[in-house]
């Protein structure tokens, strides 16, 4: 099984129970004799600013040809009858929704189409969000033309008499986009597909930070691999994660960023970074604001370079779906950095003073090379405006 990194195309979340495959088995691919089994589960990253993100799934289609059209041969379908509605935000801290399994002709599957139910007069909130600032449930607008399915390029091998076991990690924070002042919300799905690893990282933040606004992530090269929000006790679990070495980043509004470097993750093992008696509780920090505009559908990430080398992502979302605006409040304090040490030893944090208020922006828009901007040092109460244009 292969790790599929940074799957940014249209894929909202694949939630399947009691799967039954129907339709043809696949021309235009590398099918071999016999069949294997595809098993899927779903998990979620934090959703900044929402208390619920609901999607209703009707059908999933897979094909061995990445260029197959809706009417081409070779599609296998998974039909949910009745359609299934799930709040994706219940899937944090290592919780997996078991999606079921289905037999498929053996071969490599390179295209997936996810068909969501429409928000109709009979079911106006089939897909919806509940903003944290309101108790009102609001319809979530899905991409135009989604009746044929939201397309994603995948790379899943289904071997004869074997099970291909994958987890789809939905990033609700990056996937739900505000549509100007219209009161509407748009779905621009961001999902990562990974094998079902047992390995991961666990730890604790102070209970005062267990408020739904704190994010803990594992990163490599400034790219978030897995993120979550702590539960009501402050405990967090980042799982499943491939074995390797990661940087752990904790951010919370009005708090100094805390970073643990060189966190090891071994196969079939959950690494503990701290105990409940020594939770992360970084000091309060004043903030400045980074804002600007970019073309609609641009993803703007905020990176903080570290003196020891490399950068970490501290924020990132798609710009407003109508105005193209973005805005991030950011800590001006120097980030606190600790090298990983195995328990029962305690982490020792030190301020990376040269990194205080230092940020860079990365703007990505499908079809164009990324654009970056190095910002002046951010001061308390200040606003730095950066606008992006493509190409």
- Please name every residue paired with 301 in a beta bridge, in sequence order, or none if there are none: 316, 362
Give mean pLDDT in consecutive 10-residue pieces for the chain, a chain of 391 residues.
36 34 37 69 74 84 90 84 83 75 86 84 91 85 73 84 81 82 81 82 94 91 92 92 96 96 96 95 97 94 95 94 93 97 95 98 94 97 97 88
Spatial contact of 191 and 172, defined as CB atoms under 8 Å apart? no
pLDDT at 15 (0 to 100): 33
Let me know the angle formed at the C-alpha of 111 by 189 and 93, rounded to the nearest 5 degrees: 45
| 225 contacts: CB under 8 Å, gap ≥ 6 | 192, 217, 218, 219, 241, 242, 246
Let me know the angle formed at the C-alpha of 196 by 96 and 32, rounded to the nearest 5 degrees: 125
110: left (phi over 0), alpha (psi -120 to 50) or beta: alpha
Spatial contact of 242 and 224, defined as CB atoms under 8 Å apart? no
pLDDT at 348 (0 to 100): 96
Spatial contact of 239 and 200, defined as CB atoms under 8 Å apart? yes
pLDDT at 31 (0 to 100): 39
pLDDT at 342 (0 to 100): 95
Helices (H), the chain: 172-175
Helix (H) or strand (E) holding 231: none
pLDDT at 203 (0 to 100): 96
Spatial contact of 282 and 314, defined as CB atoms under 8 Å apart? no
| Distance separating alpha carbons of residues 169 and 200, to the nearest angstrom | 14
Backbone Cα Rg of the chain: 21
Let me know the angle formed at the C-alpha of 258 by 255 and 261, rounded to the nearest 5 degrees: 170
pLDDT at 285 (0 to 100): 97
3-state secondary structure of 87: strand
| 230 contacts: CB under 8 Å, gap ≥ 6 | 93, 204, 205, 209, 210, 214, 216, 236
pLDDT at 153 (0 to 100): 76
């Amino acid at each position: 099984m292969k790790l599929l990194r940074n799957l940014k195309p249209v894929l909202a979340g694949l939630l399947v129970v009691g799967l039954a495959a129907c339709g043809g088995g696949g021309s235009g691919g590398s099918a071999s004799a016999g069949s294997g089994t595809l098993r899927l589960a779903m998990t979620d990253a934090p959703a900044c600013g929402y208390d619920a993100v609901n999607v209703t799934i009707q059908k999933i289609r897979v094909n061995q040809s990445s260029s197959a059209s809706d009417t081409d041969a070779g599609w296998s379908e998974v039909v949910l009858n009745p359609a299934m509605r799930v709040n994706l935000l219940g899937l944090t801290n290592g919780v997996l929704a078991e999606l079921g399994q289905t037999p498929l002709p053996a071969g490599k599957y390179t295209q997936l189409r996810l068909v969501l139910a429409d928000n109709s007069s009979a079911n106006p909130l089939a897909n919806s969000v509940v903003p944290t600032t309101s108790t009102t449930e609001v319809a979530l607008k899905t991409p135009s033309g989604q009746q044929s399915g939201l397309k994603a390029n995948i790379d899943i091998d289904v071997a004869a008499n074997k099970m291909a076991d994958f987890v789809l990690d939905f990033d609700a924070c990056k996937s739900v986009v505000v549509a100007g002042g219209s009161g509407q919300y748009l779905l621009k799905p961001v999902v990562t597909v990974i094998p079902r690893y047992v390995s991961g990282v666990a730890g604790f933040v102070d209970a005062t930070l267990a408020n739904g606004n704190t994010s803990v992530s594992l990163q490599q090269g400034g790219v978030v691999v897995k993120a979550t929000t702590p539960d009501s006790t402050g405990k967090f679990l980042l799982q499943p994660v491939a074995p390797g070495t990661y940087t752990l980043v904790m951010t919370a509004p009005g708090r100094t960023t805390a970073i643990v470097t060189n966190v090891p993750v071994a196969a079939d093992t959950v690494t503990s970074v701290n105990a409940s008696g020594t939770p992360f509780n970084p000091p309060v920090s004043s903030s400045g604001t980074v804002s600007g505009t970019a073309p609609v559908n641009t993803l703007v990430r905020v990176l903080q370079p570290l003196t020891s080398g490399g950068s970490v992502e501290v924020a990132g979302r798609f710009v407003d779906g109508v105005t193209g605006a973005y805005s991030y409040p950011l800590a001006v304090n120097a980030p606190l950095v600790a090298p990983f040490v195995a328990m029962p030893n305690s982490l020792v944090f030190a301020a990376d003073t040269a990194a205080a208020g230092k940020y860079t922006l990365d703007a990505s828009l499908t079809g164009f090379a990324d654009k970056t901007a190095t910002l002046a040092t951010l001061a308390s109460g200040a606003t730095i405006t950066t606008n992006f244009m493509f190409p």
